[in-house]
Amino acid sequence: MPVYQLDEEEIWFPPHGESDSDVMAVGGDLKPERLLTAYSHGIFPWYDDPEEILWWSPAERCIVYADQVKISKSMRNIINRGDYKWSMDKSFRAVVEGCRSGSRIGNTWIHDEVVDAYSALHEIGLAHSVEVWQKGELVGGLYGISLGHVFFGESMFSKAPNASKFGFIKFSQFLQSMNWRLIDCQIFNPHLGSLGAINIPREEFLKQLEIELKYPTLQGKWTRK
């Protein structure tokens, strides 16, 4: 099956049935229109090296259902102690920079083009951040894109023990309070697995994605209730 070469003029992705590879296409750019088209079709960018964009739709998709997030006994103790505070959309770029330079969860390239692209989506209210604070210092967080009733997680980081887990748990509870369920985590890793992440077949993910994208997108700055 072919892997398509994208140009920077046409916003287009091949249908899933035309490729049995995890990589759907290469090239193109990170314009907001292309990114939003990709996510709405279950495709996301992931760099093999800093120069070439690979557009992925893995055969096994890692997801978390917001109402099934695992909270270990130790995490409950951390939450109950009040070691951390959390917020949304207060320091988006700082969170992305934290994912770039801190202890990042996931093996992705985050360089200037990526920072600028997702910051542009944040400015129009479609990319969001979760910040975790300890004594006024940003010590963890995550960011991603929201379309319909789906949150497409991009990256997480921690500068203090379990800070990213704390942020993820609190954020999943926020999504659950809005009756959202689907969190796309792209590629499985043990950190996500400890929070309840599972792999589902690509076909099942695309079916769920189609359903959740029928809901209106909550665009704009997100705040805690």
Residues 122 and 35 in one domain: no
Residue 131 and residue 144 in one domain: yes
Q: Please state, in angstroms and rounded to a whole number, the distance separating the CA atoms of residues 193 and 222.
A: 26
* pLDDT reported for residue 225: 61
**pLDDT given at position 165:** 97
Q: What per-residue confidence (pLDDT) applies to 107?
A: 47
CATH assignment at residue 96: 3.40.630.70
Out of 57, 77, 97, pick the residue that ends a domain. 57
Residues 36 and 85 in one domain: no
User: Is residue 224, in this structure, part of any structural domain at all?
Assistant: no
Give the model's pLDDT for residue 16. Answer: 85
Instruction: Print the domain residue range for 19.
Output: 4-57
Q: Is residue 174 part of a domain?
A: yes
53 and 135 belong to one structural domain: no
Over residues 170-183, mean pLDDT: 96
Structure tokens at 93: 């770029």
Q: Which two tokens stand for residue 128?
A: 């969001």
User: How do the residues of the chain divide into helix, strand and coil, expressed in percent and rounded to 5?
Assistant: 35, 30, 35
Q: Which residues contact 90 (CB under 8 A, 6 or more apart)?
A: 129, 131
Q: pLDDT tens digit string along 182-222?
A: 999 999 999 999 999 999 999 999 999 999 999 999 999 99
- The structural domain count of the chain equals 2
Is it the case that residue 118 has pLDDT exceeding 60?
A: yes
Burial class (CB in 10 A: 0-12, 13-18, 19+), 21: middle
* 222 in a structural domain: no
Instruction: Say whether pLDDT at 153 is over 80.
Output: yes
pLDDT per residue as tens digits for the range 32-68: 999 999 999 999 998 766 678 999 999 999 999 999 9
Q: H helices of 68-225, where?
A: 73-81, 92-101, 112-123, 163-177, 190-193, 202-212
Together in a domain, 170 and 185: yes
Residue 79 covered by a domain:
yes
Q: Could you tell me the CATH number of the domain that includes residue 49? A: 3.30.70.3550
Q: Is residue 201 part of a domain?
A: yes
Are residues 168 and 97 part of one domain? Answer: yes
What average pLDDT does this structure show over 4-31?
A: 86
110 and 188 inside one domain? yes
Domain boundary among 57, 79, 96: 57
- pLDDT, one tens digit per residue, over 71-86 is 999 999 999 999 999 9
Looking at the fold, whether 95 and 9 belong to one and the same domain comes out as: no
Spatial neighbors of 99 by CB under 8 A, at least 6 apart, are 110, 141, 142, 143, 154, 155, 156, 157
Verify that 8 and 71 share a domain, yes or no: no
Tokens of 218: 């909550």
Is a pLDDT exceeding 70 seen at residue 108? no
According to DSSP, the residues that pair with 151 across neighbouring strands are: 146, 183
CB 65 within 8 A of CB 200: no
Q: What is the mean pLDDT of the chain?
A: 92
Same domain, 98 and 159: yes
Specify the higher pLDDT residue, 74 or 108: 74
* Bigger pLDDT: 18 vs 10: 10
Judge whether 223 lies within some domain: no
pLDDT at 217: 97
Same domain, 35 and 109: no
Identify whether residues 88 and 170 lie together within a single domain. yes
* Interior angle at CA 24, CA 32 and CA 118, nearest 5: 25
